[in-house]
Amino acid sequence: MRSLRTWILISFLAVGLFVAQVALASIPNVEFVSLLFILISLFLPLSSTLIVSLLFTILQMLLWGMGDWVIGYLWIWPVWVLIIHAFKSINKDHADRWALLNGLWGFLFGALFAIHHGIFYGFNTMIAYYIQGISFDIIHGVSNYIITSLAFTPLSIVICKLARQYQGERYESHNKNR
């Protein structure tokens, strides 16, 4: 059972993701959300990170309205969280590895949404959606790579300090939670 303090932390992290997404919403497919999910996943257990992704999606829906994209977010962001957790022991705190994975995620994100549209609207729509979105996927992948390359290490240091303050002396290093 999670403590009230943990629920508050999860809620604040979801709001932080939401604010990061809204702040860059005017720039198509340039976002900090994917990187922030990496950092959150390094410091929280899988179940808590999955709850953060659910709350993040709900906040998105409240702002942007209900659409088929909400159903996509409900399964695509958890897929990203699962991928991150699968690579935690391999990537550890190597910014270059996370940048590469996050860049690949930017390309994969569009393909997963194409599959999502294919399920709802058929194979032809899936192909059309994917082809139409390739330029956005390229921007997404390249920007994810650049953002992670530049921001992973400084943000990781800040989050490690915050985690130490949050958890007190029990928290020695973010490496121990990986």
| Domain with 169 in it | 4-177
pLDDT tens for each residue of 67-107: 889 999 999 999 999 999 999 999 988 999 999 999 999 99
- CA dist., res. 27 & res. 42, Å (int): 27
* Other beta carbons less than 10 A from residue 127's beta carbon: 13
CA distances from 158 to 78, 128, 151, 154 (A): 24, 42, 11, 6
CATH number for the domain spanning 119: value is: 1.10.1760
Q: How many independent structural domains does the chain possess?
A: 1
Position 123, amino acid = F
State the sign of the Cα–Cα–Cα–Cα dihedral 29, 35, 38, 43.
negative
35-69 pLDDT, tens digit each: 999 999 998 899 999 999 999 999 999 999 998 89
